[in-house]
Structure 1
Amino acid sequence: MFLITIIIVCTLGVFGQPILQQTSEALSVLVPGSKLKPIYFVNTQEKKIAISFDATWGAEYTPKILNILEEYNIKTTFFLTNIWLKEYPDAAKTIRMAGHEIGMHSVTHPHFNQLSEEQMTYELQKNKEKIEEVTGFSAKLFRPPFGEYNNKVIQVIESLGYIPIQWSIDSLDWMEDKSKQDIINRVTKNLHPGAIVLFHNNGRYTADALEEIIQYVYEQGYEIIPISQLIYQDNYFIDHQGAQRLKKVN
């Protein structure tokens, strides 16, 4: 069992569901009836979003994605597995050299809900070590494979000092039946301040859709930044929708 020393403030959200307040200095604990959440999006009025890419298999389209990001001087967050790091170390180095943030995505891309605490810890720590070995980057953000999590998963991630990240806009670019226009529509029609957008580095039409999405985002007056620059680093809590909110100062 993990030893957790914490001061937690619990308030009631909509429909009387408990909301756990947490900061980078405090870990979540399980309150009966509650469901712990990763960060889906940031509650903000500022027109800023983060776009992210998960990488587990393939790298065919990654150079084109990086070229587009460079053209628009955009920095993003890439979540890498050890599977991908071992297969494409040079691509991983290129991503980092281009100034992009690296996040953890596990060693073997397993279903975390089915793992023991020890297995989860292995997947996290070995992933972090491999990222640092290959790219020199010390990762703090973790996105669970398949976007799958439960209370135990969130507690293990946070107990190791990492920040669990989900998404609020899913491009669905990994689906074979989705066209370039489908991907564009998924993102542009759901755009909102504080959004975290999910792409995959090797989606068939991801690179083709990316430039039009970026242009639309800019036309709407938004800025695109890495996830770590979008999220609050302390004095925050995650509500029942996965929104990261600043605590009110009395």
Structure 2
Amino acid sequence: MNIFFTSRRAAGVITVLVLMLTFLLGMLAGDVRERIISVTTKRLVPIYKVDTPEKKIAITIDGVWGAEKTSRILDIFDKYNVKITFFFGGYWLEKYPDMVREIDKRGHEIGNHTYTHPHCNSLAPEQLRQELEKTSLLIQDLTGKWPRFFRPPFGEYNNTVIRVAEEENYQVIQWSIDSLDWKEPGVHFIVKRVLEKAGPGEIVLMHNNGKHTADALEIIVPRLIEMGYKIVPLSELVYKDNYYIESHSGIQKRILSPRERK
């Protein structure tokens, strides 16, 4: 009888231990699943900055309203033999076709900024494709060139926006230095902000019709050159092939060949 009761007691203990172990394993499995999901769910990001050993920096200018100050900006770039990348909305392209041709004639790049400047996260994939195609067709019609780069309005994006743009063969561009010229903070503020944050591979955001943008560029451009920077369009900064983008920083990095890794 004693043996019987001891065995039954032992069986009860074993059962409890098994249940506890099962519970713990279940929790562990859940944690592991969460970790796997975290690792395998890829967050897609645009290019914020380029990892480059060269002292190159890109000034990019968005245009969605007005053109009164654009000629002066172009003259500043001509004065210092600087080429940059502009991003225009489709309706801006339609409103100022002669200015678009002039920008292209002076050797600057024009990127896609959608047609209606919408919040892209709210668009269905096909709607975004239509926005991109309509704008690129306008750029091609005015300049004879199909744009390589796309900048989402408001800097707004999600995985769908990035994926659709890449499927349409665009490289998606954000920025690493927001000049905040759109807030009209004054020339000194814009100049100080850009120059203090300047570094190799940085991408600067400005706007063609900002109140203080041209005055700020009159100071920023020669100062960057004095600091040893080469101001380049995105096509001379952004890697076209053999690269990856860090999901936590948006920094574009080259994939080194075996020889370069030695």
Both proteins in one fold, TM over 0.5: yes
Work out which of the two has the higher radius of gyration on C-alpha atoms and give 1 or 2: 2
Task: Say whether residues 1:188 and 2:195 are aligned partners.
Answer: yes
Of 215, 240, 246 in structure 2, the residue corresponding to residue 208 of structure 1 is 215
How far did 1:156 drift? Answer: 0.3
User: What residue in structure 1 maps to residue 45 of structure 2?
Assistant: 37
User: Over residues 195-242 of structure 1, what are the superposed CA-to-partner deviations in whole Å (9 max), with x where a residue is unaligned?
Assistant: 111110000000000021012111111101100110111110000201
Report the residue type matching 1:131 in the other structure.
Answer: I
Q: Answer whether contact 1:112 1:144 (CA < 8 A) is retained.
A: yes
> What SS does structure 1 have at the residue aligned with 2:62?
strand
Q: Answer whether contact 1:112 1:149 (CA < 8 A) is retained.
A: yes
User: Over residues 42-63 of structure 1, what are the superposed CA-to-partner deviations in whole Å (9 max), with x where a residue is unaligned?
Assistant: 0012100111110110001101
User: What residue in structure 1 maps to residue 91 of structure 2?
Assistant: 83
Q: Answer whether contact 1:170 1:198 (CA < 8 A) is retained.
A: yes
User: Over residues 56-106 of structure 1, what are the superposed CA-to-partner deviations in whole Å (9 max), with x where a residue is unaligned?
Assistant: 100011010000000111010011111101111111111001010110000
Which stretch shows the higher mean deviation, 130-139 or 72-81?
A: 130-139
Report the residue type matching 1:38 in the other structure.
Answer: P
> What SS does structure 1 have at the residue aligned with 2:71?
helix
Report the residue type matching 2:239 in the other structure.
Answer: Y
Of 99, 105, 111 in structure 1, the residue corresponding to residue 107 of structure 2 is 99
Of 114, 117, 123 in structure 1, the residue corresponding to residue 125 of structure 2 is 117
> What SS does structure 1 have at the residue aligned with 2:102?
helix
Query: Matched residues, percent identical?
Result: 51
User: Over residues 101-134 of structure 1, what are the superposed CA-to-partner deviations in whole Å (9 max), with x where a residue is unaligned?
Assistant: 1100000000000000010000001110011112
Q: Answer whether contact 1:57 1:83 (CA < 8 A) is retained.
A: no
**Using the alignment, how far apart are the partners of 1:244 and 1:158 within structure 2?**
15
TM-score, normalised to structure 2, is 0.82
**Using the alignment, how far apart are the partners of 1:36 and 1:62 within structure 2?**
33
Please identify which structure carries the higher helix content.
Answer: 2
Name structure 1 gaps, 5 residues minimum: 1-16, 19-30
TM-score, normalised to structure 1, is 0.86
How far did 1:135 drift? Answer: 2.1
Q: Answer whether contact 2:180 2:206 (CA < 8 A) is retained.
A: yes
Superposed counterparts of 1:235-250, under 5 Å = 235-239=242-246, 240-250=248-258
Higher relative contact order (CA 8 A, sep 6+): 1
**Using the alignment, how far apart are the partners of 2:256 and 2:104 within structure 1?**
36
> What SS does structure 2 have at the residue aligned with 1:63?
helix
User: What residue in structure 1 maps to residue 141 of structure 2?
Assistant: 133
Q: Answer whether contact 1:104 1:128 (CA < 8 A) is retained.
A: yes
**Using the alignment, how far apart are the partners of 2:150 and 2:58 within structure 1?**
15
How far did 1:137 drift? Answer: 2.0
Superposed counterparts of 1:136-151, under 5 Å = 136-151=144-159
User: Over residues 158-202 of structure 1, what are the superposed CA-to-partner deviations in whole Å (9 max), with x where a residue is unaligned?
Assistant: 0011110111111011113x1011110110010010011111000
**Using the alignment, how far apart are the partners of 2:152 and 2:112 within structure 1?**
8
**Using the alignment, how far apart are the partners of 1:90 and 1:106 within structure 2?**
19
> What SS does structure 1 have at the residue aligned with 2:197?
coil
User: What residue in structure 2 maps to residue 28 of structure 1?
Assistant: none
Structure 1 runs of 4+ aligned residues shifted over 3 Å read: none
Report the residue type matching 1:196 in the other structure.
Answer: I
User: What residue in structure 1 maps to residue 234 of structure 2?
Assistant: 227
> What SS does structure 2 have at the residue aligned with 1:57?
coil
Q: How many residues align?
A: 220
Of 163, 172, 181 in structure 2, the residue corresponding to residue 173 of structure 1 is 181
Q: Answer whether contact 2:60 2:87 (CA < 8 A) is retained.
A: yes
